[in-house]
Amino acid sequence: MTIYITPMGNRIARRRVLRFAPDWPWTELEENRILFPVDVRVEPEAYQITAFVPGIKPEELNIQIVDKTVAIQGELKDETDEEVTYLIKELPSGKFNRVINLPDPLDANGAEARVENGVLTLRVPKAETVRPRTIKVVSK
Protein backbone atom coordinates (compact mmCIF):
# COMPACT_ATOMS: atom_id res chain seq x y z
CA MET A 1 0.00 0.00 0.00
CA THR A 2 1.30 3.44 -0.89
CA ILE A 3 0.29 6.49 1.11
CA TYR A 4 0.54 9.83 -0.64
CA ILE A 5 0.47 13.18 1.13
CA THR A 6 -1.53 15.68 -0.90
CA PRO A 7 -2.53 19.26 -0.08
CA MET A 8 -6.09 18.02 0.51
CA GLY A 9 -4.79 15.23 2.75
CA ASN A 10 -2.85 17.84 4.74
CA ARG A 11 -6.03 19.91 5.23
CA ILE A 12 -7.93 16.85 6.41
CA ALA A 13 -5.11 15.92 8.78
CA ARG A 14 -5.02 19.48 10.10
CA ARG A 15 -8.74 19.41 10.87
CA ARG A 16 -8.40 16.02 12.57
CA VAL A 17 -5.44 17.11 14.72
CA LEU A 18 -7.06 20.43 15.67
CA ARG A 19 -10.19 18.56 16.76
CA PHE A 20 -8.21 16.38 19.20
CA ALA A 21 -5.26 18.68 19.98
CA PRO A 22 -6.33 22.33 19.63
CA ASP A 23 -2.98 23.60 20.97
CA TRP A 24 -1.04 22.04 18.05
CA PRO A 25 1.30 24.68 16.50
CA TRP A 26 0.00 24.57 12.91
CA THR A 27 1.32 28.03 12.07
CA GLU A 28 4.83 26.62 12.43
CA LEU A 29 3.95 23.65 10.23
CA GLU A 30 2.75 25.88 7.41
CA GLU A 31 6.23 27.44 7.12
CA ASN A 32 7.88 24.18 6.11
CA ARG A 33 10.53 24.28 3.42
CA ILE A 34 12.08 20.83 3.64
CA LEU A 35 10.53 17.58 2.46
CA PHE A 36 12.11 14.40 3.78
CA PRO A 37 11.36 10.92 2.45
CA VAL A 38 9.54 8.31 4.51
CA ASP A 39 8.65 4.65 4.19
CA VAL A 40 5.55 3.30 5.94
CA ARG A 41 5.56 -0.46 6.45
CA VAL A 42 2.35 -2.23 7.43
CA GLU A 43 2.63 -4.99 10.01
CA PRO A 44 -0.27 -7.02 11.42
CA GLU A 45 -0.25 -5.13 14.73
CA ALA A 46 1.59 -1.88 13.93
CA TYR A 47 2.96 0.56 11.39
CA GLN A 48 6.68 1.14 11.08
CA ILE A 49 7.69 4.54 9.74
CA THR A 50 11.26 5.09 8.59
CA ALA A 51 12.43 8.61 7.71
CA PHE A 52 15.70 10.28 6.74
CA VAL A 53 16.52 13.01 9.27
CA PRO A 54 20.26 13.62 8.80
CA GLY A 55 21.88 15.93 11.32
CA ILE A 56 18.89 15.88 13.68
CA LYS A 57 19.35 14.85 17.31
CA PRO A 58 16.55 12.81 18.91
CA GLU A 59 15.67 15.63 21.31
CA GLU A 60 15.19 18.00 18.33
CA LEU A 61 12.33 15.94 16.87
CA ASN A 62 8.70 16.46 17.81
CA ILE A 63 6.41 13.53 17.04
CA GLN A 64 2.67 13.79 17.61
CA ILE A 65 0.19 10.93 17.20
CA VAL A 66 -3.54 11.69 17.13
CA ASP A 67 -6.15 9.13 16.10
CA LYS A 68 -4.95 7.97 12.62
CA THR A 69 -2.40 10.74 12.06
CA VAL A 70 1.35 10.88 12.74
CA ALA A 71 3.11 14.26 12.52
CA ILE A 72 6.90 14.56 12.57
CA GLN A 73 8.49 17.99 12.85
CA GLY A 74 11.83 19.58 13.63
CA GLU A 75 14.36 22.07 12.35
CA LEU A 76 17.68 21.81 10.56
CA LYS A 77 19.90 24.57 11.92
CA ASP A 78 21.65 26.83 9.43
CA GLU A 79 25.32 26.71 10.39
CA THR A 80 26.44 29.21 7.76
CA ASP A 81 29.58 31.10 8.65
CA GLU A 82 28.97 34.74 7.71
CA GLU A 83 32.71 35.31 7.16
CA VAL A 84 33.00 32.53 4.57
CA THR A 85 32.20 32.83 0.87
CA TYR A 86 30.40 29.79 -0.51
CA LEU A 87 30.74 28.71 -4.12
CA ILE A 88 27.87 26.24 -3.69
CA LYS A 89 25.49 26.08 -0.71
CA GLU A 90 22.91 23.31 -1.11
CA LEU A 91 22.53 21.86 2.37
CA PRO A 92 18.96 22.43 3.57
CA SER A 93 18.08 24.43 6.65
CA GLY A 94 14.83 25.47 8.25
CA LYS A 95 11.73 23.88 9.69
CA PHE A 96 10.38 20.64 8.35
CA ASN A 97 7.30 18.56 8.96
CA ARG A 98 5.55 15.55 7.61
CA VAL A 99 1.96 14.53 8.32
CA ILE A 100 1.10 10.91 7.57
CA ASN A 101 -2.52 9.77 7.51
CA LEU A 102 -2.88 6.06 8.22
CA PRO A 103 -5.96 3.89 7.60
CA ASP A 104 -6.32 2.60 11.18
CA PRO A 105 -6.60 4.24 14.63
CA LEU A 106 -3.27 4.22 16.49
CA ASP A 107 -2.15 3.51 20.06
CA ALA A 108 0.05 6.52 20.84
CA ASN A 109 1.01 5.15 24.27
CA GLY A 110 2.74 2.14 22.72
CA ALA A 111 4.76 4.10 20.14
CA GLU A 112 8.55 3.74 20.12
CA ALA A 113 11.02 5.96 18.26
CA ARG A 114 14.78 5.94 17.77
CA VAL A 115 17.28 7.79 15.61
CA GLU A 116 20.38 5.98 14.39
CA ASN A 117 22.81 7.25 11.73
CA GLY A 118 20.36 9.93 10.58
CA VAL A 119 17.44 7.53 10.19
CA LEU A 120 14.31 7.80 12.35
CA THR A 121 12.51 4.52 13.00
CA LEU A 122 9.06 4.96 14.53
CA ARG A 123 6.90 1.96 15.40
CA VAL A 124 3.28 2.82 16.17
CA PRO A 125 0.93 0.02 17.25
CA LYS A 126 -2.56 -0.13 15.86
CA ALA A 127 -5.32 0.44 18.41
CA GLU A 128 -6.53 -2.76 20.09
CA THR A 129 -9.91 -2.54 18.36
CA VAL A 130 -8.38 -2.98 14.88
CA ARG A 131 -5.71 -5.58 15.63
CA PRO A 132 -6.31 -9.07 14.26
CA ARG A 133 -7.34 -11.54 16.93
CA THR A 134 -7.00 -15.28 16.99
CA ILE A 135 -9.91 -17.06 18.62
CA LYS A 136 -9.14 -20.42 20.11
CA VAL A 137 -11.85 -22.96 19.40
CA VAL A 138 -12.45 -25.71 21.95
CA SER A 139 -14.72 -28.71 21.84
CA LYS A 140 -16.94 -29.90 24.66
Q: How many domains does the chain have?
A: 1
Question: 3-class DSSP state for residue 18?
Answer: helix
* 138 domain-assigned: no
* 140 domain-assigned: no
Tell me: pLDDT of 102 over 90. Answer: yes
Query: What pLDDT does residue 40 have?
Result: 97
* 22 domain-assigned: yes
Q: Is 136 left (phi over 0), alpha (psi -120 to 50) or beta?
A: beta
* 110 domain-assigned: yes
pTM over 0.75: no
What are the pLDDT digits (tens) for 22-63? Answer: 666 554 444 445 778 899 999 999 999 999 998 888 999 999
Query: What pLDDT does residue 133 have?
Result: 72
* 19 domain-assigned: yes
* 46 domain-assigned: yes
**Domain with 65 in it: what CATH number?**
2.60.40.790
* 44 domain-assigned: yes
Contact predicate 111/122, CB 8 Å:
yes
* 2 domain-assigned: no
Contact predicate 119/46, CB 8 Å:
no
Tell me: pLDDT of 5 over 60. Answer: no
Measured CA to CA in angstroms, residue 90 lies from 41, 87, 99, 117 at distances of: 30, 10, 25, 21
